[in-house]
């Protein structure tokens, strides 16, 4: 978890406590403070979730693209110098890059779906 996820979750817990205490002691002001803090925490945690998902997905996508390019270059050099071994290593690196890029793409899709379903199913309090 990154710092925004942790701080957001903490604010959500604190806000929920204030809300419940406000309901118990019949204090609309404390309830309002609780809801406000709860919403602030939800927004901060969501920002942390987006940041985290982007970091992981983007890293795999970029590293995958780099391996694909390096593999293409290595394979082309193998063809120029007539080295089947170098060509094969280049092809293997390319495949590895496609796998890593695919992992980044899949992570992004899963995170998008997860965030979409969270907004429809999560209770605020």
The pLDDT value given to residue 122: 54
28's tokens: 């609309």
Residues in the chain: 125
Per-residue confidence (pLDDT) for residue 117, from 0 to 100: 63
Domain boundaries in the chain? 3-121
Residue numbers of the chain with a pLDDT score lower than 50 = 125
CA distance 95 to 109: 21
Residues 58, 50: Cα–Cα separation, whole Å: 12
- Whether the full predicted model's pTM is greater than 0.85, yes or no, is no
Residue 23: per-residue pLDDT? 95
């Amino acid at each position: 978890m990154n710092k925004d996820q942790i701080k957001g979750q903490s604010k959500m817990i604190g806000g929920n406590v204030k809300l419940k205490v406000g309901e118990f002691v019949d204090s609309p002001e404390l309830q309002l403070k609780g809801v406000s803090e709860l919403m602030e925490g939800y927004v901060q945690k969501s920002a942390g979730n987006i940041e985290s998902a982007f970091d992981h997905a983007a890293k795999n996508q970029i590293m995958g693209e780099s391996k694909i390019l390096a593999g293409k270059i290595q394979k082309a050099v193998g063809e120029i110098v007539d080295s089947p071994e170098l060509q094969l290593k280049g092809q293997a690196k390319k495949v590895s890059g496609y796998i890593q890029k695919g992992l980044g793409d899949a992570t992004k899709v899963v995170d998008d779906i997860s965030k979409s379903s969270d907004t429809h199913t999560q209770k605020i309090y």
